[in-house]
Structure 1
């Protein structure tokens, strides 16, 4: 699935040994829980497998981005997550709410990305708010990081 593929060598380093990866990824998501109950993470061959119950498609999107933006994670599989009624598949999560996704490039800032998508660099906070679980500081983003871009209403 396109949304759930990531750059393995880019992101925050949370673990140094594969044996601690699942626990560290699970703790990371639970610390900023976007709405996943009974979250369990399995990690093997650079893939994070999530299971649990999502409160919404947005919660699952955020959890997938949180796991995928960790150094060492190449892909996130979410087939084990139960979705709310009306969201029938993980593929539906990729397009939920007309959300776009963007991979940060070298030289990008949130203002530059806001200019690209909204024609107004001052709307960077809209992007920051949509990605609070992934971006802790709007001045600290990195190339290869995948983020959500909310559509403008």
Structure 2
């Protein structure tokens, strides 16, 4: 399983305040004790954060029934047996570009011409533009739209990138 590093303190804030989002335990009727329920597999705060991550994937139309997320501290593990390489790279970026996430673990599919190749990601530095990044990686500043398209739906506007954001660089 490969691990990708991200800037933990940069990105979209989806977790919100823990106090506001934590579920309240149901009270048992007076004089009765609550039935023994099975213990949750994860603590409520982690479950809340995983739900927020899944909601973000849904908002980006990257949610699928076969995507399973595990959160341990600031590391998200993606398990998805059905995603193609491009979709999985987008899942990695969508989750890694969330404030509070420092690492994403996933296995890329071993199919096609890109089997065994690591994806090319770029972390945006202050003052950079998609044109400058396109010139550095693709040899032509006018190919900025290829980077923009490779990062849809996470990018809505080619002028709206920020320092610390990680972008997928398409390979020709």
Normalising by structure 1, what TM-score?
Answer: 0.78
2:6 aligned residue: 6
1:117 to 116, 124, 137: 137
- Displacement of 1:27 in angstroms is 1.6
- Displacement of 1:24 in angstroms is 0.9
Matches of 1:30 and 1:133 in 2, distance apart?
A: 11
Report which stretch shifted further, 135-144 or 110-119: 110-119
User: Which contiguous aligned blocks of 4+ residues in structure 1 show a shift greater than 6 angstroms?
Assistant: none
- 3-state DSSP class of the match of 1:140? coil
Residues 143 and 46 of structure 1: is their aligned pair in 2 closer, same or farther, counting only changes over 3 Å?
A: same
Quick check: 1:68–1:75 contact (8 Å CA) kept in 2? yes
Residues 3 and 52 of structure 1: is their aligned pair in 2 closer, same or farther, counting only changes over 3 Å?
A: closer
Larger radius of gyration: 2
- 3-state DSSP class of the match of 2:56? helix
Structure 2, gaps ≥5 residues long: 19-44
Normalising by structure 2, what TM-score?
Answer: 0.71
Structure 1, gaps ≥5 residues long: none
- Displacement of 1:44 in angstroms is 2.5
Greater helix fraction, Structure 1 or Structure 2: 1
Matches of 1:30 and 1:127 in 2, distance apart?
A: 22
1:31 maps onto 2:59 in alignment: yes
1:104 aligned residue: 124
1:147 maps onto 2:159 in alignment: no
Greater strand fraction, Structure 1 or Structure 2: 1
